[in-house]
């Protein structure tokens, strides 16, 4: 039986040890404000390939490169004034910007494309680890490819623990959804590639021009950014999505609402993400709740889709991909 990963508290000694692990080409699962990531040296082709191997990730799905400060951006990408405007407003935070890449980033990290997705995370332990490692870190979600993203260190150990030896515990993810991704290779035509906690309206307000919503990627070739495949973020249990729903009798299927449903008799197979329907708390609990239901052996999980923009749009995006056939 393969050894399970060790979980480390964020002490100075542990951070120094994990930074050495990364400099030696190893993998470390890390906390971020969005979801937990699987980090390695973004400038090392071999280290990046190790991420793909551990996750079972197709090489057509690029990695996000994480930096600790704005002065590190030019090391990995060629920024334009629009990108710098967004970076100064939203970094550190849950925003990823796609830009032309530099030669410091190997093609293995970018699906062979001449662009790179870059983010400055706000989680203090992750940023400290990037600084100690002295290199930008590639870090997709720390889970088997296509499965629900992890939002705690224990999620990582339970789903990826035999493939990764080191997990940095930074507590539950504050946001619980992956970062917003915006394409700014052409600053006059910004495109939202993946919705997240930073909304399209916020991006447009900061840029002073509309931000188009990119269509869903259906091809099997190189993806411009991660999280764009038609099926992704999926539990093993089939999902059935509803704009409105009323639970039917029977314990074999689970019913997951955004808010506590009114007028429905409490049952063991009825769940909700937040009693009052607060979308920030609901988003934070989405993946962990789906993971819990997935482990209970239901035949199907019925999920209510949130309505509206902002976080509702991001949650609906993840659920649509999770429920795709």
Contact 149, 141 (CB under 8 A): yes
Return d(Cα 110, Cα 48) in angstroms, integer: 10
Closest CA to 88 of 73, 110, 104: 73
Supply the mean pLDDT for the chain. Answer: 94
pLDDT, tens digit (0-9, with 9 covering 90-100), for 199-251: 999 999 999 999 999 876 655 688 998 888 888 889 999 999 999 887 776 67
pLDDT, tens digit (0-9, with 9 covering 90-100), for 247-305: 776 679 999 999 998 877 768 899 999 999 999 999 999 999 999 999 999 999 999 99
Contact 83, 187 (CB under 8 A): yes
What is the fold of 6-213?
Answer: DHBP synthase (3.90.870)
Residues of the chain with CATH 3.90.870.10: 6-213
């Amino acid at each position: 039986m393969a050894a399970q990963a060790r979980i480390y508290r964020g002490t100075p000694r542990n951070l120094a040890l994990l930074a050495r692990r990364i400099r030696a080409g190893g993998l470390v699962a890390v906390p971020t404000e969005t979801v937990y990531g699987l980090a390695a040296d973004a400038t090392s082709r071999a280290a990046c390939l190790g991420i793909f191997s551990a996750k079972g990730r197709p090489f057509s799905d690029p990695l996000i490169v994480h930096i600790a400060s704005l002065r590190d951006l030019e090391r990995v990408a060629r920024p334009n004034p629009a990108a710098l405007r967004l970076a100064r407003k939203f970094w550190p935070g849950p925003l990823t910007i796609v830009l032309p890449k530099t030669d410091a980033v190997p093609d293995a990290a970018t699906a062979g494309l001449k662009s790179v997705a870059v983010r400055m995370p706000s989680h203090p332990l992750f940023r400290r680890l990037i600084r100690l490692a002295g290199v930008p870190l590639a870090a997709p979600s720390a889970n088997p490819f296509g499965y629900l993203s992890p939002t705690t260190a224990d999620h990582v150990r339970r789903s990826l623990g035999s493939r990764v030896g080191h997990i940095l515990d930074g507590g539950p993810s504050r946001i619980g959804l992956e970062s917003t991704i915006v394409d700014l290779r052409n600053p006059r035509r910004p495109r939202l590639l993946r919705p997240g906690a930073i909304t399209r309206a916020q991006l447009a307000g900061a840029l002073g021009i509309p931000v188009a919503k990119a269509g869903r990627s259906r091809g099997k070739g190189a993806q411009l950014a991660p999280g764009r495949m038609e099926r992704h973020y999926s539990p093993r249990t089939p999902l059935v999505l509803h704009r409105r729903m009323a639970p039917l009798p029977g314990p074999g299927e689970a019913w997951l609402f955004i808010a506590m449903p009114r007028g429905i008799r409490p049952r063991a197979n009825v769940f909700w993400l937040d009693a009052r329907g607060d979308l920030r708390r609901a988003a934070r609990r989405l993946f962990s709740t789906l993971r819990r239901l997935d482990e209970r052996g239901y035949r199907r999980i019925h999920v209510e889709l949130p309505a509206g923009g902002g976080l509702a749009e991001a949650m609906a995006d993840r659920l649509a991909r999770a429920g795709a056939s």
